[in-house]
Amino acid sequence: MMFLFAGIVFLWGLLVLRAAYLQVIPNKRLEALQARQFQTVITLQNRRGTIVDRAGRELATSNRAYSVYADPQLIEGKKRVARKLAKILGSRVDTIYSKIKDGKKRFVWIQRLMDEKTADEVKEMDVRGLQTVEEFKRIYPNENLMSQVLGFVGQDGQGLEGLELLFDKELKGNTKKVTVRRDARGRPLVADGLMFADNPAGAEIKLTVDSDLQHMLETELQGAINDYDADSATGVILDAKTSAILAISSAPTFDANRALSAKPELRRNRAVTDMFEPGSTMKTFVVATALKEKIAQPNTKYNTENGHFQVGDRVIKEAETKEKWSHLTVSEILAYSSNIGTTKIAFQIGDKTLRENYYNFGFGQKTGVDLPGDTRGLIQSLPWRPHLLANISFGHGIAVTALQMANAYASIANGGILNRPYIVQAVRDPESGETRDFQPQALRRVLSAEDSASLRLMLTGATAPGGTGVNAKVDGYLVAGKTGTAQKVNPNGRGYMQGAYVSSFAGFIPATEPKFVIYVVVDHPKKNAFYGSQVAAPIFSRLASYAARREGLPPVLISEKNFVDKDMMKSAKQKKASRLAAKVARDLIQSEKSAEQSTEPGMVPNWTHLTLREVLKKASGQNLQLRIRGQGVVSEIIPEPGSPLPAEGNIQVILRPVEEIRSISR
């Protein structure tokens, strides 16, 4: 017995010594084991960075929200709890019960991203096994505005489409990890989600977009769908000098706050992703190639065959059977949109040279824009048979995107430089304040300054009386542009859809010193009209008028002196083009009576299409007595703009909603 007793004491002594060793003597291996058993590292959900427009107005932001989770093993009276939760959350009882009925589960989300009031009601239930945690909910305060560009995020805050996807890493920022103690069952010890309170914010993304222009563009595009029963409409507004995107959209659109319930085709940024045959807007680049290659000048005449030109076993005709011109100059070919004239020029250029120049203008390749889904478009491989060359010269047999077309016109507007279009102006780190700015990027010169100036003047002729783009004119400003009407490719088979068209207009304002490049395309208008001159040109006019007046560009008194571009006068070989410009100016002077409005002192200013805030800003410091009626943008000014200012300075300004202005202007 003594021997047995001594043995037991000896063993217990060993255990005590071992315990003392473990408790007192430091041991890195055991410390690490303890940390693994009683602590856990949790990655916190960041407050996602804000997306703002060029003026700092919020387009996407993140607000605090609350989520409810459960430990089904701890919940007693599961059916009773499910009924109470369903009433608070506005959900189905069976849906909630199916989540908590399995007692073997230790964690399940009940509902994500609720408001604080709902979360408080859940807390008041005081049910063991139910807990709330603080998260962040992505909010798009303008709902539909720019939704296809901004994209959206998933429930876990990850970017899924648009800028949210492309700049997901920057918007999420550096993740924050915290060490949290956990209980014997390995569950984090969380008290009301407080550990989620001080999360770092992601970077702020500042865009080049102007929210007011964007709203006007989206209103016009949706109006086009309603007025012409169109399938869709797309528009792009660029800064003419830099190709910064000021507005870009497609209609119909969707509410970004409910993105997952929207159809995928509504979420697509069609201005960047979708290809289509552009029609006659491509004629501009045939003429540009002819000028560049010294094949023709603005006054070079071509035999336009009285509207009937045989090419192999096919016949090229004009858009209208009544259009039977015998001879047209290059300028007239562009102004009247002659298919035969453009074909004759293309035949002189040749397929290889024309294809190279199309590519040079950015067609058939990605634009490089900082948006997902950038599409190359389509230029067919060489050789082109004569009838294919003819078709491609007036915009069939080639596919482009809206952004490609707008950017190509910007290269003409800015003096011959093709820029990379961009939409992100800066990325700012909210913690360090460090800002990374994005600058305009010139890709290559595509035209000489003289040739681009000649082309700008010729495009102004297209909006003059007799030109196809006369409906794109803007009172008080010189406008340059080109209409386009193309048959719509059958998406379900070969060939074209019967009686279906794509209507478009591309142009810039003001013509001699362009500020804005605007491209509008309406897909398959089914009622009232289908020509680009009837459908897209008036939309361009309203957008250009709003943009110019909002920017504060002074109306121009049209004359030969201010109409002829300065670049045109630098070379003696441009004298013929200058004479053409003078002729166009005289035509415009006769037709644009309203363009002679003056903003000189003592005259009633023209504030049409400006907002009330912009009117008050421009009237500040002047001796004017304004009487304001209505709300929206200015639709009428009494007395008429350009008339003598009343002695007492009384001016009545009548405002109407943008939608109403658009309807009246039709």
CATH number for the domain that contains residue 140: 3.90.1310.10
The answer to whether residues 497 and 586 belong to one domain is yes
Q: Which among 207, 234, 261 is the end of a domain? A: 207
In contact, 367 and 403? CB cutoff 8 Å: yes
Give the residue among 664, 596, 666, 587 at the shortest CA–CA distance from 633.
664
CA atoms 629, 633, 636, 640: torsion sign? positive
Q: Say if residue 197 is in the same domain as residue 166.
A: yes
Does residue 17 lie within any of the structural domains? Answer: no
Residues 6+ apart with CB under 8 A from 299: 329, 330, 331, 576, 577, 580
Residue at 554 is within a domain: yes
373 is in which domain, residue-wise?
Answer: 212-422+435-591
User: Is residue 297 domain-shared with residue 377, that is, in the same domain?
Assistant: yes
What Å distances lie between residue 300 and 318, 329, 451, 527, CA to CA?
Answer: 20, 5, 14, 39
Q: Are residues 446 and 560 in the same domain?
A: yes
- Are 46 and 175 spatial neighbours (Cβ–Cβ below 8 Å)? yes
Strand partners, 205: 51, 427
Residues 192, 226 share a domain: no
The β-bridge partners of 64 are 136
> Torsion over CA of 322, 326, 331 and 337, rounded to 10 degrees?
30
pLDDT in tens, 543-566: 999 999 889 888 765 555 554 444
260 shares a domain with 186? no
pLDDT at site 137 = 81
The pLDDT of residue 616: 75
Q: Are residues 363 and 342 in the same domain?
A: yes
- Weakly modelled stretches of the chain, pLDDT under 50: 191-197, 563-570, 572-573, 588-599, 661-666
For 610-653, the pLDDT digits (tens) are 777 777 777 776 778 788 887 777 778 888 777 788 877 788 88
Quick check: helix, strand or coil at residue 136?
strand
The reply to whether 188 and 256 lie within a common domain is: no
Of the candidates 234, 227, 238, 244, the one whose C-alpha atom is nearest the C-alpha of residue 268 is: 234
Q: Residue 261 carries which side chain, given as an amino acid letter?
A: S
Specify the pTM. Answer: 0.76
Continuous segment of H or E residues that includes residue 480 = strand 480-489
CATH number of 561's domain: 3.40.710.10
At residue 558, the pLDDT reads 54
Residue (of 216, 314, 158) closest to 632 by Cα position = 216
Could you tell me if 148 and 225 lie in one domain? Answer: no
Q: What are the backbone angles phi and psi of residue 116, rounded to the nearest 5°? A: -65, -35
Alpha-carbon dihedral angle through residues 330, 335, 337, 342, given to the nearest 10 degrees:
10
Cα 481 to Cα 47, 302, 456, 519, distances in angstroms = 45, 22, 8, 9
Residue 28 resides in a domain? no
The H or E element containing residue 561 is: helix 560-563
Residue 175: predicted pLDDT:
61
| CB neighbourhood size of 463 (10 A) | 30
Tell me whether residue 548 is in a domain.
Answer: yes
Nearest to 270 by CA among 448, 578, 81, 502: 502
Per the structure, the count of domains in the chain is 3
Domain presence at residue 599: no
Quick check: is 6 in a domain? no
The residue from 591, 620, 648 where one domain ends is: 591
Contact status, residue 510 vs residue 477, Cβ threshold 8 Å = yes
Q: Is-contact 380 392, C-beta < 8 A?
A: yes
Q: Which residue has the tokens 């074209």?
A: 496
Q: What is the DSSP letter of 307?
A: G
Give the pLDDT confidence score for residue 181 in this predicted structure.
Answer: 59
Going 224 to 462 to 405 to 510, the CA torsion angle's sign is negative
Identify whether residues 339 and 482 lie together within a single domain: yes
The domain boundary, picked from 182, 207, 232, lies at 207
pLDDT computed for residue 659 by the predictor: 54
Pair (571, 617) in one structural domain: no
The answer to whether 563 and 580 have CB atoms below 8 angstroms apart is no
Q: Among all chains, which residue has been given the structure tokens 């071509």?
A: 302
Q: DSSP per residue over 161-199, as a string? A: EHHHHHTHHHHH-S-EEEEEEB-TT--B--STTGGGTTP
In this structure, the answer to whether residues 195 and 243 fall within a common structural domain is no
Tell me if 201 is assigned to some domain: yes
- The string of DSSP codes covering 504-536 is EEEEEESSSS--EEEEEEEE---SS--SHHHHH
Residue 632 lies in a domain: yes
Closest by CA to 393, choosing from 356, 341, 320, is 341
